[in-house]
Amino acid sequence: MERELRLGPAQAVAHARRLEALSVADDAELATRIRAGELDDRPDVDAAVRASVVDRLRVANPAWLADRDR
C-alpha cells in the first residue's frame, strides 16, 4: 500500500501520457486495438505496454525487477 501511495500518482500521469501518445482513450481501447492488429509493428506500443508493466511491478513486486537487473 505504501508503494502504491508513493508511486501511484506519478505512474497514473505517465500512463495517461502514454495512452494519449498512442491516441487511445484508455486501457480497454488499447487492448481492443492491439487484439484487432491495428497497432502491429509499432515500437511505441511495445514501449508503452512494457512501461506500464514495469510500473505495476514497481508497486506489486519490485524485487522481481531487481532480480532481472542482475
Cα–Cα distance, 60 to 28 (Å, whole number): 21
How much of the chain exceeds pLDDT 70, in percent? Answer: 96
pTM of the model: 0.83
Domains in the chain, number: 1
C-alpha cell at 52: 506500464
What is the predicted pLDDT for the residue at 69?
62
Yes or no: say if 32 and 39 are a contact pair by the CB < 8 Å rule. Answer: no
Question: Which domain covers residue 13, as residue numbers?
Answer: 2-69
pLDDT category at 5 given cuts 50, 70, 90 is very high
